[in-house]
Structure 1
């Protein structure tokens, strides 16, 4: 599971066995986890984050979208 970066206690990462899905990132903090599509930025799955946290996470992904897409394409080819 390559970690792309950490920010404010959140871990942004990929699972190495998901190359056939559209570009996305997983985000964990504490016991909560979320999957966010990168094209376009949208929540795919959420387990444990509150609505107010979800909006902030989506904003963080949108702010770092180009960095995340670059890491996705570099890792998966």
Structure 2
């Protein structure tokens, strides 16, 4: 899809975390699906740990699966 830039500090931080966890060279669009970009349950667990550490926010594995885009997760 078309690239959609982060609209808030939270979205920007989440996009940067996703890019790092997934090992991507391209910026992550806020509407990109984590699992379509190569994410899986182990990567989702790494994502949860990074969100906890960098944003001081607790996200469950089920929330990552239910909200697989930066936009959706930031809204949570």
Give the TM-score normalised by structure 1. 0.35
- Structure with max Cα Rg: 1
Q: Which has the higher strand share?
A: 1
Q: Which has the higher contact order (CA 8 A, sep 6+)?
A: 2
Q: Which has the higher helix share?
A: 2
